[in-house]
């Protein structure tokens, strides 16, 4: 089983940027498709972005397309989420997770990192 730890969250003004990291231990991330999700207060968790095991394919929710970039460094066992042009509606706890296939269930989850965007 793989353990995931997110970091890089914080408080930022609207229009600013943050880079989230998801570090793995226990198993190499290179076998997994990786996803980022977020959950705002009072709302359900929603998909943000995913990246294939090799890093060659990415997919984004419409709400973040063009502003967020997912990437990975399998040598460092880490996945990243670069968030630019942040908006107050991006405020949420951000989670990373693993899945074996793009249509499969996400199995391993981190505890999340808080992102707060002030207006």
What digits encode the pLDDT tens for the residues 16-64? Answer: 999 999 999 888 888 899 999 999 999 999 999 999 999 999 999 999 9
The confidence score (pLDDT) of residue 102 equals 85
* Phi, psi dihedrals of residue 13, rounded to the nearest 5°: -80, 155
Question: How many residues are listed for the chain in this entry?
Answer: 119
For the chain, the straight-line distance linking the first and the last C-alpha, in angstroms and rounded, comes to 40
The confidence score (pLDDT) of residue 29 equals 86
> Quick check: 77 pLDDT over 90?
yes
Q: What percent helix, strand, coil does the chain show, rounded to 5? A: 5, 50, 45
> In whole angstroms, what is the distance from residue 106 CA to residue 96 CA?
9
């Amino acid at each position: 089983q793989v353990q995931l730890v997110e970091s890089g969250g914080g408080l930022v003004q609207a229009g600013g940027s943050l880079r989230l990291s998801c570090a793995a231990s226990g198993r190499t991330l290179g076998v997994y498709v990786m996803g980022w999700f977020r959950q705002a207060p009072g709302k359900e968790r929603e998909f943000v972005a995913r990246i294939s095991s090799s890093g060659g394919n990415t997919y984004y929710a419409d709400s973040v397309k063009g502003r967020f970039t997912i990437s990975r460094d399998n040598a460092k066992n880490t996945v990243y989420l670069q968030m630019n042009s942040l908006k107050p509606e991006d405020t949420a706890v951000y989670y990373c997770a693993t899945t074996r296939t793009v249509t499969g269930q996400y199995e391993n989850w981190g505890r999340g990192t808080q992102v707060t965007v002030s207006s």
